[in-house]
Amino acid sequence: MTLAGFVAYALALGIAAAVPGPGVVALVARALGAGFRHGMAFAGGLVLGDLTYLTAAVFGLSLVADMMGSLFVLVRYGGAAYLAWLAWRLWRAAGDPKRVAALTGERASRSFWAGLVVTLGNPKTIVFYMALVPTLVDLRHVTMGDYLVLVALTTAVLALVMTPYAALAARARGFLQRPAILARLNRSAALFLAGAAMWTVVRRP
């Protein structure tokens, strides 16, 4: 691959990632509801999901992905159900400081897996890697070195885009620690998560 090809890929990915979709909305809601650590863990899951689809595109697994369409439908519904469950828990905990603290203290791995499932079932991600990437990258001539550069670029671009979302959401939470305001904030985050769940279900590739 040429330098121009890598730059085109990075720019396209940055634009696609920055446009709010189910992943970004869920990330912000997670950071609002449980703090920066959980927001970044969720972002880590998003990155792994993107790398999964990048690998599929580079190594010619798009045909397999098409053949497993029903599996991706199940993944999408599973991701939506998990987001809905997180929204329900956050809504219930919103008025109880002890429950809010318990949510913040949960294992970050739960947020990581949530981010991964949401990305694997996100039609926007599927379209980008299975339809748009082949127009930007000559997949027939991608070497292992090129693939590793694409992995590094994908990780770096997504980190640059997602970290400010998580940081700003967590900072907003830190400024609003009064119980009544925090309860409203958490309920708002729960509504965002519920909206992301609905978006994941109704949107199609």
pLDDT, tens digit (0-9, with 9 covering 90-100), for 131-177: 778 777 887 788 889 999 999 999 999 999 999 988 887 777 665 55
pLDDT of 58 strictly over 70: yes
pLDDT, tens digit (0-9, with 9 covering 90-100), for 160-172: 999 998 888 777 7
> Does the reported pTM lie above 0.85?
no
Torsion of CA 44, 73, 30, 95, to 10 degrees: -150
Q: What angle do CA 83, 89, 92 make, to 5 degrees?
A: 140
Residue 187: predicted pLDDT: 64
Tokens of 183: 């309860």
Residue 51: predicted pLDDT: 93
Euclidean distance between CA atoms 181 and 128, whole angstroms: 38
Confidence at 103, pLDDT banded by 50, 70, 90: very low
For the chain, what's the residue count? 205
Euclidean distance between CA atoms 191 and 130, whole angstroms: 31
Residue 45: predicted pLDDT: 92
